[in-house]
Amino acid sequence: MAPHANGTSAASGAVGGSAGEKTPLFTVESPDVVYTEDAIKTQYAYHTTEVTRTADNKFVAVPKAHAYDFKVDRKVGKVGMMLVGWGGNNGTTVTAGIIANRRGLVWDTREGKRAANYYGSVVMGSTIKLGTDKSGQEVNIPFHDMLPMVHPNDLVIGGWDISGLGLADSMDRACVLEPSLKELVRKEMAEMKPLPSIYYPDFIAANQEDRADNVIPGSKASWEHVEHLRKDIRDFKEQNGLDKVIVLWTANTERYADIITGVNDTADNLINAIKSGHEEVSPSTVFAVASILENAPFINGSPQNTFVPGAIQFAEKYNAFIGGDDFKSGQTKMKSALVDFLISAGIKLTSIASYNHLGNNDGKNLSSQKQFRSKEISKSNVVDDMVAANSVLYKEGEHPDHTVVIKYMPAVGDNKRALDEYYAEIFLGGHQTISIFNVCEDSLLASPLIIDLVVVAELMTRVSWKTKDAEEYKGFHSVLSVLSYMLKAPLTPPGTPVVNALAKQRGALTNIFRACIGLQPESDMTLEHKLF
Ligand SMILES: NC(=O)c1ccc[n+]([C@@H]2O[C@H](COP(=O)([O-])OP(=O)(O)OC[C@H]3O[C@@H](n4cnc5c(N)ncnc54)[C@H](O)[C@@H]3O)[C@@H](O)[C@H]2O)c1
Ligand SMILES: O=P([O-])([O-])O[C@@H]1[C@@H](O)[C@H](O)[C@@H](O)[C@H](O)[C@@H]1O
């Protein structure tokens, strides 16, 4: 690990191991799939059903097939992860977690020994059904083996924070990890120090000011800030011999930026607004612009509207990847699954009361109304698509009552208490009341999502597609809606629908991965077990 001297360029990282591709766990034998040393190329038939409404309000459904060629570059290369807010609870926890896994650490706790793992990461902790064997048994493989992906142990980690505290002291400040584990990673963590960052006080709670001792001069957007952050990314990449860098915002929740015509409504206006120091341009949007210009995918793990229309247009202009918003870690993940179950079971959900209190710095920042409002929006919109899809239960525009409450209670620290009540109408005037008390160790739930977001975003930089008659392959749309499963308020390409149903989000992720190796979506029909 290259030690990091104060004030020099990019923070040293937990340098990972080799970035070479491991031998694939499986191969697909098909005339439509070709493996070369550099790539996996597939010819894929994407089947949809086109529905039109007739004059008498009936529907006509027409099966359609679309031919796509997919290509996955097999060489992962050496990948860097730069976290904005590196010194925070999530930043320190994910860093310590990767070090612990890389070294295979085991530590003592009151309940006995615990070993490093990646539980809570869909990529590292879950499996995908590949198919069935000749006896009809399902064959499930580790998600991470589906396509060539960077291993989190190999990620080189760095980042920025307005707090200059080193990662070891920040880890102590976070109060998330067991002392026995902290001692095992302390030496490596102590070598890491966040780079100075941009700090525009109006965008986060005033109660954060006492942390801001590691800031780049200037309290509002400027092009110098963009160029400073661009240089940080380039330096980090060069000093660590990286092939690519993924930048992820896990800094404090910002207030929403007003969308102002002539300021942030188009790419050109946004760039001009930054150059003119417009006070409505947030630090997270400045980070997004700098990352786009460095062709570093930028992911927003917080709920604010970082991606104002001008930022999305700017990403499209440069064919750069962006994704967001707001890690979906505990209460909302549960909500998106439970609401999906209730409504798709024909149970009429009529009210959702979501309360939680927590005592970490995130909760402290959210105790300020403007920052809470950003979170309230991302936590409230998660049911919209599921409600809108069921016209049997809900009339046009009808939806369940839904309230979100967050309180800051320092005593409970990172161990958020979430209390939810789901109230529904059932058969013949009956009611069902579901009450959930959910203690989430928030940073231990969110940190694996950081890994998922970075690993999938990196993979998407190596996936391209074309239609049969096209000459060139190209990347997916700049807005990586494939990341939705990990996010509360999924950002989607302008004009496309937002899907929040958790099962649909996971299905999209796994079936796009299947398409990249020429396999049809997993339908779970198991006709082979029904038609005989
Ligand atoms: N379960 C979870 O922890 C969870 C779930 C969903 C979303 N989030 C979001 O993730 C973010 C981080 O959560 P956390 O618990 O790690 O919070 P935290 O307050 O512990 O960490 C945030 C860090 O960002 C730093 N920071 C603030 N402004 C900055 C800037 N302009 N540049 C660089 N650093 C800056 C702060 O100094 C702090 O160290 C929050 O926005 C939170 O809402 C967290
Ligand atoms: O992901 P989730 O558990 O639904 O939502 C969480 C909120 O309940 C919590 O108050 C907030 O501090 C976290 O950042 C996170 O957003």
pLDDT tens digit sequence for 51-105:
999 999 999 999 999 999 999 999 999 999 999 999 999 999 999 999 999 999 9
| Res 23: pLDDT | 83
Q: Which of 176, 300, 379 is the best mutation target for the ligand 2 pocket, counting ligand atoms within 8 Å of the beta carbon and taking the most? A: 379
Contact 254, 374 (CB under 8 A): yes
Whole-number percent of the chain with pLDDT over 70: 96
120-142, pLDDT tens digit by residue? Answer: 999 999 999 999 999 999 999 99
Atom of ligand 1 nearest to the CA of 302: 41
Atom of ligand 1 nearest to the CA of 87: 39
Span from the CA of 362 to the centroid of ligand 1 (angstroms): 6
Average pLDDT over residues 193-220: 98
279 closest CA partner among 303, 258, 252, 305: 258
| Res 22: pLDDT | 72
Q: Is 333 a catalytic residue?
A: no
Q: Which ligand is nearest to the CA of 197?
A: 1
d(CA 487, CA 306): 14
Average pLDDT over residues 526-532: 91
Q: Which ligand is nearest to the CA of 417?
A: 2
Could you report how far apart the first and last alpha carbons of the chain are, in Å?
60
Q: Is 64 a catalytic residue?
A: no
Work out the mean pLDDT of the chain and round it to a whole number: 95
d(CA 375, CA 355): 12
| Res 328: pLDDT | 97
CB of 444 shorter than 6 A to ligand 2: no
Tell me how crowded residue 7 is: count the other CB atoms within 10 A of its CB: 10
25-53, pLDDT tens digit by residue? Answer: 999 999 999 999 999 999 999 999 999 99
Span from the CA of 13 to the centroid of ligand 1 (angstroms): 19
248 closest CA partner among 280, 284, 212: 284
Non-local (6+) Cβ contacts of 525 within 8 A are: none
Q: Per the residue annotation, which of 161, 232, 326, 452 is the catalytic one?
A: 326
Q: Which ligand is nearest to the CA of 326?
A: 1
Residue 176 one-letter amino acid: V
420 closest CA partner among 486, 301, 330, 329: 330
- pLDDT above 70 (res 3): no
CA distances from 335 to 127, 170, 354, 404, 484 (A): 22, 31, 9, 12, 15
Contact 293, 247 (CB under 8 A): no
d(CA 248, CA 480): 13
| Res 21: pLDDT | 59
CB of 245 shorter than 6 A to ligand 2: no
Span from the CA of 453 to the centroid of ligand 2 (angstroms): 17
Span from the CA of 33 to the centroid of ligand 1 (angstroms): 43
DSSP 8-state symbol, 227: H
Q: Which of 82, 90, 225 is the best mutation target for the ligand 1 pocket, counting ligand atoms within 8 Å of the beta carbon and taking the most? A: 90
d(CA 60, CA 526): 27
d(CA 422, CA 59): 34
- pLDDT above 90 (res 20): no
Tokens describing residue 461: 């930089």
- pLDDT above 90 (res 412): yes
420-468, pLDDT tens digit by residue? Answer: 999 999 999 999 999 999 999 999 999 999 999 999 999 999 999 999 8
SS3 459: helix
Q: Is 488 a catalytic residue?
A: yes
Q: Is 71 a catalytic residue?
A: no
Span from the CA of 363 to the centroid of ligand 1 (angstroms): 10
Q: Which of 328, 361, 374, 375 is the best mutation target for the ligand 2 pocket, counting ligand atoms within 8 Å of the beta carbon and taking the most? A: 375
Q: Which of 378, 442, 486, 502 is the best mutation target for the ligand 2 pocket, counting ligand atoms within 8 Å of the beta carbon and taking the most? A: 442
Query: Is residue 145 reached through a cis peptide bond, with omega within 30 degrees of 0 on the bond before it?
Result: no
Atom of ligand 1 nearest to the CA of 174: 20
Q: Per the residue annotation, which of 375, 379, 420, 442 is the catalytic one?
A: 375
Span from the CA of 52 to the centroid of ligand 2 (angstroms): 40
Average pLDDT over residues 144-155: 98
User: Which pLDDT band, with edges at 50, 70 and 90, does 506 fall under?
Assistant: very high
Non-local (6+) Cβ contacts of 183 within 8 A are: none
Tell me how crowded residue 116 is: count the other CB atoms within 10 A of its CB: 20
Within 6 A (CB) of ligand 1 lie 84-85, 87-91, 160-163, 197-199, 204, 211, 250-253, 283, 301-302, 326-327, 329, 360-362, 365, 442-443, 445-446
